[in-house]
Structure 1
């Protein structure tokens, strides 16, 4: 671990991460490391990272938009021009005192900037260098844009749900970005464990196309080994490889999700006598549309709460379909402490999803909210031995930017 790293709390306390990534996948992975106590330093252009200027849903804040705020807590910021020789030298200085370097530049950009793995390994042979790309470091798709929706489309997943003749439906979240972030987070932990055992740093590459493909381990194997094609039915179905009924159904006041019930039992509960003689594993496949239509007609007659009580009480797998407003008010969410709340110096009260893990002795925590661009430039450069006059020179020459919350 890096001796000069400021003391923090958490299971990764003492490790320093340089996060040169933009948008979602890389910053989300860096945030996870920061949540566990790593000293994550966000290296961004003097004008600020791209995500600072692109607000999802138009949710802009005072000085930091919600998108950036949600993906960059527990980080400090150095704003530097890496195209300037002085800026690159500054980065090398930081690399010499760091444990992890995380980037998701377009293929070839890191080499042009002089921050590719070979260049940084020359500065610090023990560095764990993580590169995230859309499609891989090389190959025919190397230069394609690695955008979430495009990767969902290429992955085949969109045709595993819905109905024949309807447009393929994307996930309701940035699925590929989020899973790629978790994969990169796992890769950093594994590479650090290897380094602890051997002293060796290494390069780790993660690409979004492989991530979203391997996420479908079971589904794609059903096709490649079982020979079962993706065949959507006429009625909307939530997963082509799962028997009916499986999906969402309208009630009088909302929607209910229903998953693979025992058909005779379901028939008794919803007053559908034709289900009594049906076999789920046979009819659930061959009569998918018929079963969906009959379930849909029955569930449309009563409220979500009424049907949930009837069906869940009989052991049927069922759940209401929530909005975000329902989710944040859910009793289990409150019990789990799923959301964290804190005060940000420029954005005020923040309520955001917290941590997907629990540690009994080294809990994750929010030590700081997302930084302003260059908010910690002076303090971090001082930590690696630069004098106030040297930092002032870099600031006045435009190589670095600084910011104050006041």
Structure 2
């Protein structure tokens, strides 16, 4: 069966990673996502593009744009805007991650498109809620990691300077929230027939994300303790060294700890008043992590993993990025697949994490070349071949 969003059409003006990450999930679930790009293409196409045969097919772009079709229009031309409005008439969702003022200058704001299609779901993401004093500012992942407190989290652990997490975590987290919001609006429209405007700002998304655990003592007024979940920001919390590498181990219940201390040859520690039960351990995370650090050094990683598995104590190895490609679990589940891309040749792809029983998520098409589906999309929109040729001739429509 087709995916759960089969029949849903998305006009996607998003770029870089935040928006494309959101719309890829929609596309994976079966939506017809039409990626509308400017003549220069999505900026993310160039990241790592020097490794590609087609320099507009960079690896991050390909990872975030499968199952979509590309339409390349010069929206500075009124004819292109009118074409897009015509497509909105039969669309379910219009989505972008541009600053609102810029998109409104093109005549593609919510009020403009609601007149064309009153039931349209109009979703956008921006750096900061539009109603606030930051609302007009540009935003990138680094900036939002800084202002949301993310860059300072590691400083709470080790006292070092603020630093960015080595992932585009602000983009991807906000992209997931944007996707969730769109699904909620789709359900509402199914129940009521109403479209609506959705705003998902990066700062508010990331702030709520961190504060879920790190508001902590400031949850109460007045505060009853410091902000920051003490177990998580403990400087001794890290993968533990073994005889030949590292292991992630987390004995959790009283039974786990009793068994672990026995395995480590220190059953006496189970009677240590600091570690006798969950409440006492919560007061002594630092000592407990240091005990783990000292005891795990005496066996190899594999020896510990085997012992932990037999005892049903939660533990996993520490992988490098390269080791993920050979991980036995991911291999067994078919997470990675080698495919032949029409312009890039043999490539490695990874699956959507979604596994629906009835409405399967499938890899239906490769990330598109810039404008590679433009003619097909405009024919579906009702334009004649002569009209399409004229648009190509005057550079309103760009095709490979």
TM-score, with structure 1 as normaliser:
0.87
Q: 1:318 to 1:245 in 2, by over 3 A?
A: farther
Paired position in structure 1 for 2:178: 184
The residue number in structure 2 matching 1:250 is: 241
Pairwise mapping of residues 150-229 of structure 1 onto structure 2 (< 5 A)?
A: 150-158=143-151, 160=153, 163-168=157-162, 170-216=164-210, 218-225=212-219, 227-229=224-226
Post-superposition shift, 1:14? 1.5
Residues 273-284 of structure 1 correspond to what in structure 2 (within 5 A)? Answer: 273-274=268-269, 276-277=271-272, 278-279=274-275, 281=278, 283-284=280-281
Deviates more, 1:127-136 or 1:307-316: 307-316
Greater alpha carbon shift after TM alignment, 127-136 vs 354-363: 354-363
Alignment of 1:301-312 (within 5 A): 301-312=298-309
- Describe how 1:117-156 pairs up with structure 2 within 5 A: 117-156=110-149
Aligned with residue 397 of structure 1, among 391, 394, 398: 394
Distance 1:193 1:282 in 2: 43
The answer (yes or no) to whether the contact 2:251–2:260 under 8 Å persists in 1 is no
The aligned counterpart of 1:54 is 47
Paired with 2:373 and 2:212, the residues of 1 have a C-alpha distance of: 45
TM superposition shift of 1:285: 4.5
Taking structure 1 as reference, are residues 72 and 371 closer, same or farther at Cα in structure 2, changes over 3 Å only? same
1:268 aligns with 2:265: no
Residues 307-329 of structure 1 show CA distances to partners (whole Å, capped at 9, x for unaligned) of: 22233433322211111232232
2-structure distance, mates of 1:295, 1:10: 46
Partners of 2:229 and 2:378 in 1: how far apart?
Answer: 57
Where do 5+ consecutive residues of structure 2 fail to align?
none
Q: Who is 1:89 aligned against?
A: 82
In the alignment, the residues of structure 2 paired with residue 276 and residue 143 of structure 1 have an alpha-carbon distance, to the nearest angstrom, of 59
Find the aligned partners of 2:242 and 2:342 in 1 and give their Cα distance.
45
- CA–CA distance in 1 between the matches of 2:40 and 2:239? 45
Partner SS for 1:205 = strand
Q: What residue is the counterpart of 1:3 in the other structure?
A: none
Q: Is the 8 A contact 2:216 2:228 kept in 1?
A: no
User: Secondary structure, in 3 states, of the residue corresponding to 1:18?
Assistant: strand
Of 341, 366, 369 in structure 2, the residue corresponding to residue 369 of structure 1 is 366
Indicate yes or no: 2:64 matched with 1:71. yes
Deviation at 1:151, TM superposition (A): 2.2
The answer to whether the Cα contact below 8 Å between 1:15 and 1:99 also exists between their aligned partners in 2 is: yes
- CA offset at residue 128 of structure 1? 0.7
Residue 103 of structure 2: which of 110, 126, 131 is its match?
110
Are the structure 2 counterparts of residues 114 and 60 from structure 1 closer, same or farther at C-alpha, using a change threshold of 3 Å? farther
The answer for unaligned runs of 5 or more in structure 1 is 1-7
After superposition, the Cα gap between the structure-2 partners of 1:147 and 1:276, relative to the gap in structure 1 and judged at 3 Å, is: farther
**1:378 equivalent in structure 2:** 375
- Looking at structure 1, the residues matched to 157 and 215 of structure 2 have their Cα atoms a distance apart, in angstroms, of 22
Counterparts of 1:276 and 1:316, CA distance in 2:
19
CA contact (8 A) 2:145 2:151 kept: yes
CA 1:214–1:141 in 2, change beyond 3 Å: closer, same or farther?
same
Quick one: distance in 2 between partners of 1:91 and 1:34?
19
1:297 alignment counterpart: 294
Q: Is contact 1:246–1:258 with CA below 8 Å preserved after alignment? A: no
One of 385, 388, 398 as aligned partner of 1:388: 385
Structure-2 separation of matches of 1:340 and 1:151: 34
Q: Aligned partners of 1:215, 1:65: CA distance in 2, in Å? A: 29
- 1:77 aligns to what SS in structure 2? strand
1:39–1:308 distance in 2 versus 1, CA, 3 Å = same
